Amino acid sequence: MIVTTTEKPSASARLKAAELAGELGGKLVERRNRTLKQLSERYSDAELLVVTSGELRYYREASETPLYFHPSMAYVRVKRLRKGERDPLVELSGCRPGDSVLDCTAGLGSDAVVFSYAAGPEGAVTALESEPVLCAVVREGLKSYRTELPDVNEALRRIEMVCADHASYLTSLPDNSFDIVYFDPMFRQPVTESSALEPLRALANHEALSPETIAQAVRVARKKVVIKEKNNSPEFERLGFERCPVKKTSAVGYGVIMIEPKQCKQPT
Ligand SMILES: C[S@@+](CC[C@H](N)C(=O)[O-])C[C@H]1O[C@@H](n2cnc3c(N)ncnc32)[C@H](O)[C@@H]1O
């Protein structure tokens, strides 16, 4: 992958490109006045990561629409929450101010943003993404993207993005260390109308969740483990989730595992 900047980069954009090339094992290339297509041909590499003044843009090919961070639907959902309206994920996860949330499948960070707003300044959201380029694009976007609403910007900044596979990350955590553990894996059968996720598909990890990972999530969660899947997916049963009722017309559904009060140690 080529890592470069825009044609007239600031000193900080140059520095960021160098850092990212090191982090992601990319080839740091000075842009000068060359087009992305020219760079791609010159260095025989189709993949490009471009550091602009405000964001990172990842191109699988110079001619394609890039992947970049944008809160998109999350912004709409957070604005609804600000007006006191309900959000299905916040409601069924029971996420409240002060909660800690582990989002095991960060993707473009939309659900993490909604959780971060709902958990508030006293809460905490850690978002895991196994794919390094995607993780970097979203991490940098969460640090710098500005909406016109300061409380939403603060919710973006509070999210801690971690580039990690959730199976090994969960294993490393102590029991009961997060209130809510959330999974939104790539659906076993994609919902074709979901064009918003199209640029993500090529980069994402498509591996199925294992029952062992869910057992780890149950150990780590204090309140609930939640999964999003295609409405009629057999994954809910296979992984031991209770389906939450959704409209018949809804393409996606949610499943929940309620955590029983875990036994306290008896005093000796
Ligand atoms: C459907 S997307 C999540 C979308 C996200 N909820 C949002 O609101 O933008 C699933 C993401 O989980 C990531 N993923 C899949 N398996 C993973 C794993 N084992 N560890 C960490 N991330 C994983 C994929 O790479 C993909 O980016």
CB 180 within 8 A of CB 99: yes
Give which of 118, 134, 137, 115 is closest to 126, Cα–Cα: 115
Please tell me if the CB atom of residue 134 comes closer than 6 angstroms to any atom of ligand 1. Answer: yes
Q: What is the pLDDT of residue 247?
A: 80
Helix (H, G, I), strand (E, B) or coil at 66: coil
Please tell me if the CB atom of residue 111 comes closer than 6 angstroms to any atom of ligand 1. Answer: yes
Which helix (H) or strand (E) segment holds residue 100: the answer is strand 100-103
Distance 214 CA to ligand 1 centre (A): 15
Give which of 29, 26, 31 is closest to 9, Cα–Cα: 31
Please tell me if the CB atom of residue 105 comes closer than 6 angstroms to any atom of ligand 1. Answer: yes
Give which of 227, 226, 225, 232 is closest to 251, Cα–Cα: 232
Please tell me if the CB atom of residue 186 comes closer than 6 angstroms to any atom of ligand 1. Answer: yes
Q: What is the pLDDT of residue 196?
A: 59
Ligand 1 atom closest to the Cα of residue 185 is 10
Distance 63 CA to ligand 1 centre (A): 25
Ligand 1 atom closest to the Cα of residue 131 is 25
Please tell me if the CB atom of residue 129 comes closer than 6 angstroms to any atom of ligand 1. Answer: yes
Q: Which CATH superfamily is domain 72-258 in?
A: Vaccinia Virus protein VP39 (3.40.50.150)
Burial (CB count <10 Å: 0-12, 13-18, 19+), residue 54: middle
Residues (pLDDT < 50) of the chain are none
Give which of 190, 210, 212 is closest to 201, Cα–Cα: 190
Sort strands 100-103 and 178-183 into parallel, antiparallel or unpaired.
Answer: parallel
* Longest CA–CA separation in the chain, Å: 73
Distance 203 CA to ligand 1 centre (A): 10
Q: What is the pLDDT of residue 189?
A: 73
Please tell me if the CB atom of residue 131 comes closer than 6 angstroms to any atom of ligand 1. Answer: yes
Q: What is the pLDDT of residue 123?
A: 98
Where in the chain are the domains?
2-59, 72-258
Q: What is the pLDDT of residue 197?
A: 66
CB 56 within 8 A of CB 67: no
Distance 11 CA to ligand 1 centre (A): 33
Which residues does 142 contact at the CB level (< 8 Å), separation at least 6? 69, 109, 113, 156, 157, 159, 161
Distance 171 CA to ligand 1 centre (A): 18
- Residue to probe by mutation, ligand 1, list 182, 205, 229, 233, most atoms within 8 Å of CB: 205
CB 234 within 8 A of CB 190: no
Cα 32 to Cα 39: distance, rounded to the nearest angstrom: 10
Give which of 202, 33, 40 is closest to 131, Cα–Cα: 202
Q: What is the pLDDT of residue 265?
A: 55
Burial (CB count <10 Å: 0-12, 13-18, 19+), residue 58: buried
Cα 106 to Cα 69: distance, rounded to the nearest angstrom: 12
Residue owning the nearest CA to atom 20 of ligand 1: 165
